Amino acid sequence: MTSTTGSIITVTLNPAVDKTLEVPGFQLGAHAQAELKALVPAGKGVNVARGIVRLGGRAAACAFIGRDEERMFAERLSAEGVEARFCVVAGRTRTNTTVLDPEAHTTTHLRERGFEVGAEDVRALRMALTDWLAERREATAVFAGSLPPAMSPADFGALIGACASRGARVFVDTSGPALQAALETRLVDALKPNLLELGECLGGAVERSEAPRAAERLLDRVGTVLLTLGAEGAFVIRRGLTVGRRCPVPGREVRNTVGCGDAFLAGWLRGEQLCDDPAEALCWAVAAGAASAVSETTVGYALADVEALLPRCEPVG
């Protein structure tokens, strides 16, 4: 493989098969007719990689994967133009089910527990990552999603360190103890918290009105904070720079909120490649998040959808 500059690899430690059902008039405890809308390989990092390719970029996806799901993931990602680097583990890849009710405009999420991984699995994934990064300059490693059962925050921090030692920029989108472990490395170039996760970082709840200023307190440990606030928009926060943008979407147009944060991150990474101005890159991010929200399925948006939403983007303070 020839050396490439600016390559992106996403890392999904706890992947999933995303199953989307449409159930008009959905009610708990009742029998209902369901229509299968999608059954796709997923997990936050996988979604980001697929999203970057949808937006005209290139990306690879590295992930743990259950043996029985390896072929499906490989075939689907290859068909979409995503390079795959899998570390096969014992156990079944979890299925996450989303139930869409078009009458009530509700979205219900059912999430399964992931497989467990051992020390040898973590070592194999670290080798796969460092081998891939060794062939590339100025690459970006994107860690997105939760840790699988039995994987420790210390293991997560070591993976971040291994990528940073290869000269990669490191982006992180996670929560809980994994988020704290990432911060403690002081090797993260960009962190993407929502309001709740920002509170986790800072040790207490943060009010929406104070969030951008509060996020500045993380800049002694990370280079950039990408703060997402759902329909209210998002901010990019660096030393000497705070910019906010949103892409308004009427509530009646929203179809599926699963994966909007992943679409945001894919949009930001693609926007960085296309735009020198962080504000313009942020417009790509919020437009991609909006495009995902109006799509029925996870990563159901296309480049044309995002480009059509870019003119809607507006400043937010």
Question: 57-68 pLDDT, tens per residue?
Answer: 999 999 999 999
CA distance 289 to 299: 10
Angle at 218 between CA 160 and CA 184, to 5 degrees: 35
pLDDT class of 3 with cuts at 50, 70, 90: very low
Looking at domain 1-151, what is its CATH homologous superfamily? Ribokinase (3.40.1190.20)
Annotated catalytic residues are: 262
CA distance 73 to 39: 11
Average pLDDT score over residue span 241-260 = 92
Question: 21-56 pLDDT, tens per residue?
Answer: 999 999 999 999 999 998 999 999 999 999 999 999
Q: What is the model's pLDDT at position 169?
A: 98
The predicted model scores a pTM of 0.93
Q: Tokens at residue 215, please?
A: 């996020």
Residue of higher predicted confidence among 139 and 105: 139
Q: Is the pLDDT of residue 207 over 60?
A: yes
In this prediction, what percent of the chain has a pLDDT beyond 70?
98
Q: What is the model's pLDDT at position 158?
A: 97
DSSP secondary structure of 101-159: ETTTTEEEEE--------HHHHHHHHHHHHHHHHTEES-EEEEESPPPTT--HHHHHHH
Q: What is the model's pLDDT at position 118?
A: 95
Average pLDDT score over residue span 184-210 = 97
How many C-beta atoms lie closer than 10 Å to residue 255's C-beta? 19
Question: 78-130 pLDDT, tens per residue?
Answer: 999 999 999 999 999 999 999 999 999 888 989 999 899 999 999 999 999 99
Q: What is the model's pLDDT at position 9?
A: 98
pLDDT class of 2 with cuts at 50, 70, 90: very low
Q: What is the model's pLDDT at position 200?
A: 97
Q: What is the model's pLDDT at position 4?
A: 62
pLDDT class of 1 with cuts at 50, 70, 90: very low
How many C-beta atoms lie closer than 10 Å to residue 108's C-beta? 13
Q: Is the pLDDT of residue 165 over 50?
A: yes
For 152-170, give the secondary structure using H, E and C: CHHHHHHHHHHHHHCCCEE
Question: 281-307 pLDDT, tens per residue?
Answer: 999 999 999 999 999 888 999 999 999
CA distance 91 to 93: 7
CA distance 132 to 254: 38
